[in-house]
Amino acid sequence: MKVIFVIDSLEGYGAEKSIVEIALRMQHVIPVFINLYGAGNLTSKLENKGVSVYSLNIAKTYGFNEAVSQIVPIIEKEKPEIIHSTLYRADLIARKLKSIFPDIILVGSFVSNSYGLNRYRHLSTLSKLKLFSTQLKDRLTAGKVDFFLCNSNAIKKTNVKALNVDGNKVQVIYRGRCLEDFNTSIEAQPSLLRELDWIGQKIFLNVGRLNKGKGQIDLLKAFSVINKENPNTLLVIAGEGSLRRELEKLIRELQLQKKVFLMGYREDIPSLLALADFFVFPTYFEGLPGSLVEAIISKTPAIVSDIPENRECFPGDEALFFPPGDINKLSRQMKQALEMDDWESRTDKAATNASEKFNIQRISKDYENFYQKIFRQKNI
């Protein structure tokens, strides 16, 4: 069986990283990737494992007709049984392809709480109108999709309602991580600490794309309060994105140039997690947050926004939670994290839960079983 994965980009964050890791472990499905907007950091990883990748380099942000015209001959050549789209623009393009190839099963993805109240609540009036327009386009075309794969129960609940989708068409399978990747050896840590000149510091780490929805502006403001009281603290942010200049400006305004490090896109997240004393995740909305799962597996104490997507990653109250957007409560939780002495029992419990729920090997098999099931149903 062959599955073509149509995806906006292969930059290496969130949904892109997860679907690549899942595809690379498939044994009974031949994966093929179509990447709409450039090669990306994950392209070579796929190609090195013998996976075909078509990078279209679509010039326009919404060059849907151009994309369709380029993808049609690829589908005719590859002859997939299933097309699986991930992320908004890929979803809309794949739905156009369904009209051309009605006999190919179309699977969509629910990977983020894009239309939830938490996102709308913190937008300007103009941004709310733009988001509603996006939601309307999504909703009007969602009926073309045969099935949806969803990465959390929280996301299924909100997206089924927001897009008026039959819940029976939505299968929840968590996005996983390779557990072994986050068992960083203790011997590797001192050298990296010396390299970065972080010895003797308490390190707060955030990992994610740099955009407003990830809450990194809130994090900088909260950290400025903590650092005044605890000058031996550092904030490390690993990720790249459109918010970088705004974050750099705020760092200067808060006079935190020697205390906050914007690391850019990193391939050594397991090592950074091993160095970090705390993982801080102030996001406003998510899908299943991969970087948070990585922190849990690494047994890094976590301070996270209290949203259903984050709660679903823990069996109970193993993290410190705060309302998204509440900078004062975030700073208080960061301060409390520094003072707590029961983190080991909390992180052990969370990691045990994560190893059962988010093991990439099992999840890859679940994906393959799902594809085989819907293909059999179609051919009965």
Burial of residue 73 (number of CB atoms within 10 Å: 0-12, 13-18, 19+): exposed
- Are 210 and 150 in a shared domain? no
Together in a domain, 27 and 127? yes
Mean pLDDT of the chain: 92
| Together in a domain, 347 and 364 | no
Same domain, 170 and 227: no
Question: Can you give the CATH number for the domain in which 333 is found?
Answer: 3.40.50.2000
DSSP 289-327: -HHHHHHHHTT--EEEE--HHHHTTSSSS-SEEE-TT-H
pLDDT surpasses 80 at 175: yes
Q: Comparing 195 with 115, which gets the higher pLDDT?
A: 115
What distance separates the 2 farthest-apart alpha carbons in the chain?
67
Number of H helices, E strands in the chain: 16, 13
Q: Are residues 239 and 327 in the same domain?
A: yes
Q: The pTM is what? A: 0.86
Q: Are residues 97 and 222 in the same domain?
A: no
Q: In the prediction, which pLDDT does 186 show?
A: 46
Whether residues 31 and 168 share a domain: the answer is: yes
Residues spanned by the domain of 188: 179-357
Whether residue 169 is found in the same domain as residue 242: no
Strands 2-7 and 30-35: parallel
Residue whose token pair is 């990306």: 40
Determine the pLDDT at residue 205: 97
Give Rg (Cα) of the chain. Answer: 21
Tell me the average pLDDT across 3-12: 93
Q: Both 350 and 364 in a single domain?
A: no
User: In terms of C-beta density within 10 A (0-12 exposed, 13-18 middle, 19 or more buried), how is residue 311 classed?
Assistant: middle
Structure tokens at 372: 């085989």
Q: Which residues contact 368 (CB under 8 A, 6 or more apart)?
A: 26, 27, 28, 29
pLDDT for 183 equals 65
- Name the band, by pLDDT with cuts 50, 70 and 90, for residue 189: low
Asked whether residue 118 falls in the same domain as residue 210, the answer is no
Give mean pLDDT, residues 349-353: 94
Cβ neighbours for 117, distance < 8 A, ≥ 6 positions apart: none
Same domain, 110 and 216: no
Question: How many domains does the chain contain in total?
Answer: 2
The stretch 167-190 carries a mean pLDDT of 78
Tell whether 94 and 158 lie within a shared domain: yes
Task: Quickly state the pLDDT bin for 41 (edges 50, 70, 90).
Answer: confident
